[in-house]
Structures are given as structure tokens and as C-alpha cells.
């Protein structure tokens, strides 16, 4: 054999060994190009960076825990939060593509589905109403003293067809109070305490931490707790996304769901993990964080429980035909 052929064989053998070593290091076969691309993109996620629309309420504690505690990072996700003024505005951001996932009260999701305004799916649970976690409040100088005084008054809500709107009407209906002539004043949650104090509205629907903040700022007092009658333990908030996004990003969604489930369970089991996040993100002081009532955090989407939302919307005349919750629930991560 000539020396030239020997050199050629040695070169070929060296190349083969180099390829084999590279394959062993990456864990990919020479034909596994899809796997190679996956490993360089957050472990196979379609998107490693996502945007989530939120509102700065206590409902967000598990989300903030997932963010600050590294739960998203462990799943290969980098999450940017985008502030919205209401659940309706939050959902709209997801529908328009401005964000990938949106936290909202459940009502806008079902209203949009019923009216064909958007094709959305629910991707993760948020919260339910707890005793003293949501209330209709007023101030001592207001003409509103009891729930019966709400008829015909100016009531602050975040937006039409959100929980603040529907749950306030439901509570009034339970007490035989006419809400048809109420002057509904829409505004962001952080503005409500000042509006009450300055007499711009007579009452307001508030969740925590705005409830505790309004008590300090404006001397706000509860008119009635939302956790009563038809709205007791009511499913309040959840995360949703456009169906086309869900279908295009199944691995990214599963990563988000796994991180949120772990964070939610940790938030439920250890309040001390939640309180510093409320101080940091909800901008409340440490004493308020220790004393306020947290909502009921949920780690799974249950169709029977969620069915209460469209059923109430139908009963209140907000939607005109029955909507089934089960088909709106996106595939859930198994681990």
C-alpha cells in the first residue's frame, strides 16, 4: 500500500473519530438534527422567552415565586411580566399577540368564547375567592352604608364583564338590590382608594392587597364580602392563551405549567414565601403583607369547578347560550 493511501485512510479514520466524539458529547446521532436543535433551544422549547400579562394583585404570588425562586428558569424559561389595567385588557394582549399568556379573571375568557370574539384556552389555574379576600367597600363619608344602598350609586370596577363587574352584580342580586341603574365607573385597581377618598365614587369592588391599602389610605370599610351566596369560593382568576399559541407551543406551555404548579403548591404550604413577594411586587408594607387575607390558590384546572363561571354569566344575562368549560381547558403537563 502506498504511503499516500495510508495517509488518506488515517485522515478518514481521524475524521470519523472526531464525529463520533462530537456525537457522544452532544448525545445526538448524525441523523438527529431535530434533537440537536432542541438541545440548543431551552431543552426543546418552541420559545424560551415568553411574555405574560398580569395585574399586581395577591393572585400573582405563585407567579412571582416561580419567577424569583427560579422555577421558570429550571424549566428553561425566561419570563417577562407585562402590566395590564384589567382582566379584559390582559386577555386582549394575549389575543393580539402582544403577550403569550395572560392572567385574567375567568369571566372575560368565557365571554369572549361565547361571543366568538376570540378562540382562547385556559392554561393554568390562579385563584378562588376566599373569605375577606374580595369585597365591595366604601368610606365613612359615602352615602353607602349597607348593600341595599348600592342601588343607583357610582361603583368602581376595573372593566365591564370582569369579575369586579359580574361578582358585584351577583352579590347585589342575591340581596334583592337593583343594579340596572348603577353608574359603573371603570378604573385601574390602584386608583380606587383615591377615588373613594375624593368622593368620585360611592363604593368599589376590590381584591387584596388593594383592600388593605384602601383601609389605610382612605379609611375604607367593607360593605359586603364577595365570599357569600352564589359567589362563595367562586373561581376567580386563571391564565389563558390564544388557541393557536397553545397549539404552536406545547412544550413551552408544559414548561410554564410545571413551574406554576410547583410554585403554587409551595405558596399554599408556606405563606412566608409569599409575603416578601407581595412587598416587592404589589408594593405593600411588611405589616400589611402579614395581615391581609390571601385568595385560595389553585394548582389544577377542574372543569366542574370552572363551570360555575359560565353558568353564572348565563344566569346574569351576560352570555345568551351555555358554554362548556371542559373543552376550553388546554392540555395539562403530566409532571
Q: What is the mean pLDDT of each run of 10 residues along the chain (335 residues)?
A: 44 40 34 33 82 91 97 97 92 96 95 93 96 95 96 96 93 95 95 96 94 92 94 95 97 98 96 94 89 92 96 94 97 86
The tally of domains found in the chain comes to: 2
238 & 122 share domain? yes
215 & 139 share domain? yes
282 & 258 share domain? yes
Complete DSSP assignment for 50-104: EEEEE-SSGGGHHHHHHHHTTHHHHTT-EEEEEE-SSHHHHHHHHHHTSSSEEEE
| Bond from prior residue into 316 cis (ω within 30 degrees of 0) | no
Last residue of a domain, one of 231, 265, 286: 231
| Of 248, 241, 251, nearest in space to 42 by CA | 251
56 & 187 share domain? no
Residue 305 domain flag: yes
Residue 299 domain flag: yes
| Of 113, 214, 192, 205, nearest in space to 163 by CA | 205
223 & 263 share domain? no
Q: How far apart are alpha carbons 108 and 111 in whole angstroms?
A: 5
Which cell is 172 given? 347585589
Q: How far apart are alpha carbons 218 and 307 in whole angstroms?
A: 37
pLDDT of residue 27: 35
Complete DSSP assignment for 23-44: HHHHT--TT-HHHHHHHTSTTT
Domain CATH for 274: 3.40.190.10
Q: What is the CA radius of gyration of the chain?
A: 25
238 & 321 share domain? yes
Bridge-based pairing of strands 235-242 and 120-128 is antiparallel
Last residue of a domain, one of 183, 201, 231: 231
Last residue of a domain, one of 204, 231, 258: 231
| Of 168, 220, 231, nearest in space to 197 by CA | 220
Range of the domain at 278: 49-128+233-328
Residue 19 domain flag: no
Bridge-based pairing of strands 203-207 and 154-157 is parallel
248 & 300 share domain? yes
Cell 428553561 sits on residue: 76
146 & 78 share domain? no
Residue 157 domain flag: yes
pLDDT of residue 335: 66
Query: Sheet containing 296-297: which strands, arranged edge to edge?
Result: 78-83, 49-54, 101-105, 235-242, 120-128, 296-297
238 & 304 share domain? yes
Q: How far apart are alpha carbons 212 and 57 in whole angstroms?
A: 12
118 & 254 share domain? yes
Please report the sign of the dihedral spanned by the C-alpha atoms of residue 104, residue 107, residue 110, residue 114: negative
Residue 27 domain flag: no
pLDDT of residue 43: 62
216 & 256 share domain? no
Strands in the chain per DSSP E: 49-54, 78-83, 101-105, 120-128, 134-138, 154-157, 183-186, 203-207, 221-225, 235-242, 296-297
100 & 169 share domain? no
Residue 38 domain flag: no
Amino acid at each position: 500500500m502506498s504511503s499516500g493511501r495510508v495517509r488518506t485512510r488515517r485522515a478518514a479514520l481521524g475524521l470519523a473519530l472526531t464525529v463520533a466524539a462530537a456525537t457522544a458529547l452532544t448525545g445526538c446521532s448524525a441523523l438527529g438534527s431535530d434533537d440537536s436543535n432542541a438541545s440548543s433551544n431551552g431543552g426543546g422549547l418552541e420559545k424560551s422567552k415568553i411574555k405574560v400579562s398580569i395585574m399586581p394583585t395577591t393572585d400573582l404570588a405563585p407567579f412571582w415565586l416561580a419567577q424569583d425562586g427560579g422555577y421558570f428558569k429550571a424549566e428553561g424559561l425566561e419570563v417577562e411580566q407585562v402590566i395590564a389595567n384589567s382582566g379584559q385588557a390582559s386577555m386582549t394582549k394575549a389575543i393580539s399577540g402582544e403577550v403569550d399568556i395572560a392572567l385574567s379573571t375567568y369571566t372575560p375568557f368565557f365571554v369572549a368564547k361565547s361571543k366568538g370574539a376570540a378562540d382562547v384556552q385556559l392554561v393554568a389555574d390562579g385563584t378562588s375567592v376566599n373569605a375577606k379576600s374580595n369585597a365591595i367597600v366604601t368610606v365613612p363619608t359615602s352615602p353607602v352604608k349597607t348593600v341595599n344602598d348600592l342601588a343607583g350609586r357610582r361603583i368602581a370596577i376595573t372593566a365591564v364583564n370582569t369579575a369586579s363587574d359580574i361578582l358585584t352584580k351577583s352579590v347585589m342580586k342575591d340581596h334583592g338590590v337593583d343594579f340596572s341603574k348603577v353608574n359603573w365607573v371603570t378604573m385601574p385597581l390602584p386608583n380606587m382608594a383615591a377615588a373613594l377618598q375624593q368622593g368620585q365614587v360611592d363604593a368599589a369592588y376590590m381584591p387584596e392587597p388593594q383592600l388593605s391599602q384602601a383601609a389605610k389610605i382612605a379609611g375604607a370599610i367593607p360593605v359586603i364580602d364577595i365570599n357569600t351566596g352564589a359567589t362563595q369560593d367562586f373561581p376567580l382568576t386563571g391564565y389563558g392563551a390564544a388557541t393557536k399559541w397553545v397549539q404552536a407551543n406545547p412544550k413551552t406551555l408544559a414548561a410554564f405549567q410545571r413551574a406554576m404548579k410547583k410554585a403554587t403548591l409551595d405558596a399554599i404550604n408556606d405563606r412566608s414565601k409569599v409575603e416578601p413577594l407581595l412587598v416587592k411586587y404589589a408594593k405593600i408594607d411588611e405589616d400589611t403583607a402579614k395581615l391581609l387575607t390571601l385568595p385560595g390558590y389553585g394548582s389544577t384546572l377542574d372543569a366542574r369547578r370552572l363551570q360555575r363561571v359560565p353558568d353564572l354569566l348565563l344566569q346574569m344575562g351576560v352570555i345568551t347560550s351555555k358554554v362548556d368549560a371542559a373543552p376550553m381547558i388546554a392540555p395539562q403537563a403530566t409532571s
